[in-house]
Structure 1
Amino acid sequence: MTYRKAMKSCALALGTAVLATAAMAQDGPIKVGVILPMSGGGAYVGEGIYAGVDLAVKQVNEAGGVLGRPLQVLLRDEQLRPDVSTAAMRELITLEGVQHFIGPATSATSLANSQIAREEKVVNISPSAKTEALTAGDNLHDYIFQLAPTTDVDGVRTVEVLRGMGTESICFTGFDYAYTHDWFAAIRANMGDITEAGEFLVPMNATDFSATITQLLSSDCDTIVGTQYGGSFIAFVKQATPFGLFESKKVLWGSNTGDHAVAAALGAELPGGLWASAADVWYYEGEDSHAAYQQALAAHQGRKETDMWPITGYNAVKFLTAAIEAAGTTEPTAVAAALDGLTIQTPLGEITIDPETNRANSPEFYGRFEPQEGSDVARMTDLRLVR
Structure 2
Amino acid sequence: MRAFKVFGLLMVVVMVLSACAPAAAPAAGGAAAGGEIKIAILAPLSGPVPTFGLSTKEGATLAVKEWNDKGGVLGKKIVAIVEDSQCTPDPAVNAANKVINQDKVKYIVGEVCSKASIPVSEIANEKKVVQISGTSTNPSVVRDAAGKVKPFTFVACFNDDTQGKVIAKFAKENIKAKTAFIMLDQANDYVKGLAEYFEKYFTADGGTIVGKETYTSKDTDFSTVLAKIAEAKPDVVVLPDYYNIVNLVTKQAKEKGITAPFIGGDGWDSPDLDPKAADGGFFTNHYSPTEDREKVKTFVKNYGEAYKNDKGEPKTPDALAALAYDATNILIEAISKAGEDDATKVADTIAKGKFEAVSGSITFDEFHTPIKPVTVIAVKDGKVTFNSQVMP
| Shorter-chain TM band | 0.7 to 0.9
Q: Is the 8 A contact 1:351 1:361 kept in 2?
A: yes
Aligned partner of 1:204 among 217, 224, 229: 217
Match of 1:358 in 2: 368
Does 2:118 match 1:111? yes
Deviations 1:294-321 (A, max 9, x none): 1111111122533221111100111101
What amino acid does structure 1 have at the position aligned with 2:380? E
Aligned partner of 2:264 among 232, 253, 261: 253
Take 1:26 and 1:140, find their aligned partners in 2: how far apart are those partners?
37
What amino acid does structure 1 have at the position aligned with 2:371? N
The alignment partner of 1:340 has SS state of helix
Take 2:263 and 2:199, find their aligned partners in 1: how far apart are those partners?
15
Aligned partner of 1:290 among 290, 296, 311: 296
Match of 2:384 in 1: 379
Q: Is the 8 A contact 1:256 1:279 kept in 2?
A: no
After TM superposition, the score normalised by the length of structure 1 is 0.85
Match of 2:132 in 1: 125
Match of 1:175 in 2: 185
Distance change >3 Å, CA 124–CA 275, structure 1 → 2: same
The alignment partner of 2:389 has SS state of strand
Distance change >3 Å, CA 312–CA 348, structure 1 → 2: closer
The alignment partner of 1:241 has SS state of helix
Report how many residues are paired. Answer: 351
The alignment partner of 1:309 has SS state of helix
Q: Is the 8 A contact 2:322 2:359 kept in 1?
A: no
Deviations 1:96-151 (A, max 9, x none): 10110011111111111110011111101011011122223446221011221111
Distance change >3 Å, CA 184–CA 231, structure 1 → 2: closer
Q: Is the 8 A contact 2:109 2:327 kept in 1?
A: yes
Note the C-alpha offset of 1:386.
4.7
Report which structure shows greater RCO (CA 8 Å, sep ≥6).
1
Give ranges in structure 2 of 5+ residues lacking alignment: 1-30, 309-313
What amino acid does structure 1 have at the position aligned with 2:239? G
The alignment partner of 1:67 has SS state of coil
Give ranges in structure 1 of 5+ residues lacking alignment: 1-23, 372-376
Superposition map of 1:35-50 within 5 A: 35-50=42-57
Superposition map of 1:1-387 within 5 A: 27-136=34-143, 137-138=146-147, 140-163=149-172, 164-176=174-186, 177-191=188-202, 192-204=205-217, 206-245=219-258, 247=259, 249-257=260-268, 259=269, 261-262=271-272, 265-267=273-275, 269-284=276-291, 286-302=292-308, 303-354=314-365, 356-371=366-381, 377-384=382-389, 386=391
Q: Is the 8 A contact 2:167 2:284 kept in 1?
A: no
Q: Is the 8 A contact 1:260 1:379 kept in 2?
A: no
Take 1:37 and 1:250, find their aligned partners in 2: how far apart are those partners?
29
Structure that is richer in helix per residue: 1
Distance change >3 Å, CA 381–CA 66, structure 1 → 2: closer
Deviations 1:270-307 (A, max 9, x none): 443211122232222x2122111111111111225332
What RMSD in Å do the two structures reach over aligned CA positions? 2.2
